[in-house]
Amino acid sequence: MSNPLLNIPLLPPFDQLQPHQVEPAISELITNCQEQLQQGLENPGWENTLVPLEQAQDQLNRAFSPVSHLNSVLSGEWRAPYEAALAQVTAYWTELGQNRELYEVYQELTANPAFNHWPQPRRKSVELGLRDFELSGVGLSGEAREQFAANSRRLAELSSQFANNVLDATNAWTWHTEDESELAGLPQTAMAAARSAAQGKDLDGWLITLEGPSYLGIMTHSENRELRRQVHLAFVSRASEVGPNAGEYDNSEVMESILALRAEQASLLGMASYAELSLASKMAPNTERVLEFLNDLAIRAKAAAEVEMTELRDFASKEYGLEDLQPWDIAWAAEKLKQQRYAISQEELRPYFPYSKVVDGLFAVVEQLFKITVEEDTSVTTWHDDVQFFWLLRDGKRIAGFYLDAFAREKKRGGAWMDTVATRRQTERGVQLPIAYLVCNFSPAAGNMPSLLTHYEVTTLFHEFGHGLHHMLTQIDVAAVSGINGVAWDAVEMPSQFLENWCWQPEAIAMISAHFETDEPLPQELLDKMLAAKNFQSAMFTVRQLEFALFDFRIHSTEEPMTAVKIQQLLDEVRSEVTVVPVAEENRFQHGFSHIFAGGYAAGYYSYKWAEVLSADAFSLFEEEGIFNPTTGERFLHSILEQGGSRDALDLFIEFRGREPKIDALLRHSGIEQQELNISPA
Number of H helices, E strands in the chain: 26, 9
Sign, CA dihedral 530-534-540-546, equals: positive
* Residues sharing a CB contact under 8 Å with residue 649, sequence separation 6 or more, in sequence order: 283, 487, 488, 491, 494, 614
Asked whether the beta carbons of 129 and 115 are under 8 A apart, the reply is no
Asked whether the beta carbons of 215 and 315 are under 8 A apart, the reply is no
Q: How far from each other are the two terminal CA atoms of the chain, in whole angstroms? A: 55
In the set 54, 347, 457, 464, the catalytic residue is: 464
CB atoms within 10 A of CB 178: 10
For residue 262, the Cα-to-chain-centroid distance in whole angstroms is 21
The SS3 of residue 557 is: coil
CA-closest candidate to residue 490, choices 611, 383, 572, 401: 611
Our answer to whether residue 464 is catalytic in this structure is yes
Find the radius of gyration of the CA atoms of the chain.
25
Q: How far apart are CA 401 and CA 128, in angstroms?
A: 27
Q: What is the DSSP string of 487-519?
A: --TTTTTHHHHHHHGGGG-HHHHHHH---TTT-
The SS3 of residue 477 is: coil
CA-closest candidate to residue 531, choices 666, 633, 671, 625: 671
Sign, CA dihedral 487-493-494-496, equals: positive
Pairing of strands 397-407, 435-442: parallel
Q: How far apart are CA 357 and CA 453, in angstroms?
A: 10
Sign, CA dihedral 217-574-249-262, equals: positive
Q: What is the DSSP string of 110-177?
A: HHSGGGGGS-HHHHHHHHHHHHHHHHTTTT--HHHHHHHHHHHHHHHHHHHHHHHHHHHHHHH-EEEE
Give the active site residues. 464
